Amino acid sequence: MAIKNAKRPLQRIELLNAIKELGVDVGGKDPAATLATVVWRDKNKFVNLKGFGYWLVSEPFAPAHYDPSSNDTKGAKANLF
């Protein structure tokens, strides 16, 4: 997975480029918009950490104060869409 390989959240264009490097064709008229829609719909796997990018919902990311095991999402700069 591109995000896991990067070991940090990825912005939409970074994620798109990383996926392309893995040989995946996202498709659509606007591949970046298509990817954003796919990630947005899969709320069980991805979270948008404001100021950082897309991250794995199940993985903590300390720089954004994101901890999925915590019930306190107000401390995190997370947007679960």
Q: Tens digits of per-residue pLDDT, 46-81?
A: 999 999 999 999 999 999 999 999 865 544 555 544
Q: Give the model confidence (pLDDT) of 5-41 as tens digits.
A: 999 999 999 999 999 999 999 999 999 999 999 999 9
| pTM beyond cutoff 0.85 | no
- Give DSSP secondary structure letters for 18-44: HHHHTT----SSSHHHHHHHHHHH-TT
